[in-house]
């Protein structure tokens, strides 16, 4: 018997033209884009489909764009499963960073329009209220080695692990002097790659405290419901089952790292056999294969090939 989880990508997965194939083949997906434009009062769908890329990549645009595209794929996927007579019932949901908002919508914990407005505000606040810094990827070192490097780099300022994405794949976040020191030290001790990311904010770090505090006040005014499907949190890689728990998670993950490796391991340990990446790109599928090679991974951002759906026909009810 197969047991599936839906996983939703975060910022960095966006690209101009994502979801373009959906517009012609899925009325539900087209409606999802129309609803996004209406909720935000801007032509978001045109930016997604036509660019320019530098404008789409702005945090304030990228986060709602990824949410809208993920939701469009979700609606199309559900339609395809129903038409094929397949009961596609996820047993868990997880989102990577901003992808948690798409997961929350999919779990019926927040309305789609509210989530769109929230992620746009989240992007704005992160850009305006976060202390200037940056992020960098380190590939090929153990968690212990990265921990020692971070400890040494703190002599140069605030720095921490932002994303534990997979074994040997870590993202750091902090002030520039500490980040530069950590990346150079990573190269010295044998990292296969240690490079700055093209971002101007230090996401998932204590440098986002002011952003967190302002965003918490906004979150308090938005209605949430208990998730109808268990969600895995980024902060502690534990189950979120209440509206209050989700609100706390979305507040605190601004200043804490994304524990993606542990989230995937937790889902596998609970019996999840297959992960469906619902959204643009295939980044999460690649990470999951590194974390749990025995798990099945499936993407919706792949032309019209849905042959893997038939293999999930036996998903338990």
**Architecture of the domain defined by 4-129+207-311:** 3-Layer(aba) Sandwich (3.40)
Clarify whether 256 is annotated catalytic. Answer: no
5: β partners: 92, 275
Handedness of CA 248, 104, 120, 304 (dihedral sign): positive
Beta strands, E only, 213-255: 231-232, 239-240
Q: Please give the helix or strand (H or E) that residue 256 lies within, else none.
A: none
CA–CA distance, 87 with 77 (Å, rounded to integer): 11
Q: Which residue has the tokens 């746009």?
A: 120
**146 Cα distance to chain centroid:** 22
Q: Where are the domains of the chain?
A: 4-129+207-311, 134-199
Spot the catalytic one: 96, 204, 256, 298: 204
Considering the candidates 97, 160, 266, 285, report the single residue annotated as catalytic. Answer: 97
Please indicate whether residue 204 is annotated as part of the active site: yes
Give the start-end residues of each E strand in the chain. Answer: 4-8, 90-95, 134-139, 159-166, 169-174, 193-196, 231-232, 239-240, 274-277, 296-299
Give the single-character DSSP code of 199.
-
Is the bond preceding residue 55 a cis peptide, omega within 30 degrees?
A: no
Asked if residue 244 lies in contact with residue 271, where contact means CB atoms within 8 angstroms, the answer is no
| pLDDT, tens digit only, all 317 positions of the chain | 789 999 999 998 999 999 898 888 899 999 999 999 999 999 999 999 999 999 999 889 999 999 999 999 999 999 988 888 888 899 999 999 999 999 999 999 999 999 999 999 999 999 888 788 999 999 999 999 999 999 999 999 999 999 999 999 999 999 999 999 999 999 999 999 999 997 778 999 999 999 999 999 999 999 999 999 999 999 999 999 999 999 999 999 999 999 999 999 999 999 999 999 999 989 999 999 999 999 999 998 765 567 778 777 644 43
The CATH code for residues 134-199 is 3.30.70.250
Q: pTM for this one?
A: 0.94
Rg, C-alpha atoms of the chain: 19
- Measured between its terminal Cα atoms, the distance across the chain in Å is 10
């Amino acid at each position: 018997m197969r047991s599936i989880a839906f996983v939703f990508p975060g910022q960095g997965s966006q690209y101009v033209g994502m979801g373009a194939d959906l517009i012609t083949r899925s009325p539900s997906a087209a409606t999802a884009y129309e609803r996004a434009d209406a909720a935000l009062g801007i032509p978001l769908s045109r930016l997604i489909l036509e660019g320019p890329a530098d404008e789409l990549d702005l945090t304030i645009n990228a986060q709602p764009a990824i949410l809208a595209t993920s939701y469009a794929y979700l609606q199309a996927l559900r339609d395809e499963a129903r038409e094929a007579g397949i009961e596609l019932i996820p047993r868990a949901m997880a989102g990577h960073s901003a992808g948690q908002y798409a997961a929350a919508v999919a779990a019926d914990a927040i309305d789609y329009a509210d989530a769109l407005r929230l992620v746009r505000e989240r992007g704005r606040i992160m850009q305006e209220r976060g202390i200037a810094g940056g992020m960098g990827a380190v590939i090929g070192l153990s968690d212990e080695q990265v921990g020692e490097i971070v400890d040494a780099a703190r002599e140069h300022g605030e720095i921490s692990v932002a994303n534990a994405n997979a074994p040997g794949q870590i993202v750091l976040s902090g002030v520039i002097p500490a980040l530069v020191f950590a990346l150079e030290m990573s190269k010295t001790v044998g990292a296969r790659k240690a490079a700055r990311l093209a971002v101007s904010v230090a996401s998932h770090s204590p440098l986002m405290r002011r952003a967190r505090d302002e965003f918490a006040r906004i979150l308090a005014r938005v209605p949430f419901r208990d998730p109808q499907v268990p969600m895995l949190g980024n902060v502690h890689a534990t189950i979120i089952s209440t509206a209050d728990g989700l609100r706390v998670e979305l507040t605190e993950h601004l200043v804490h790292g994304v524990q993606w490796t542990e989230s995937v391991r937790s889902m596998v340990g609970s019996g999840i056999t297959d992960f469906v990446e619902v959204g643009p790109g295939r980044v999460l599928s690649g990470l999951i294969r590194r974390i749990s090679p025995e798990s099945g991974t499936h993407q919706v951002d792949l032309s019209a090939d849905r042959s893997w759906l038939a293999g999930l026909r036996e998903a338990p009810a």
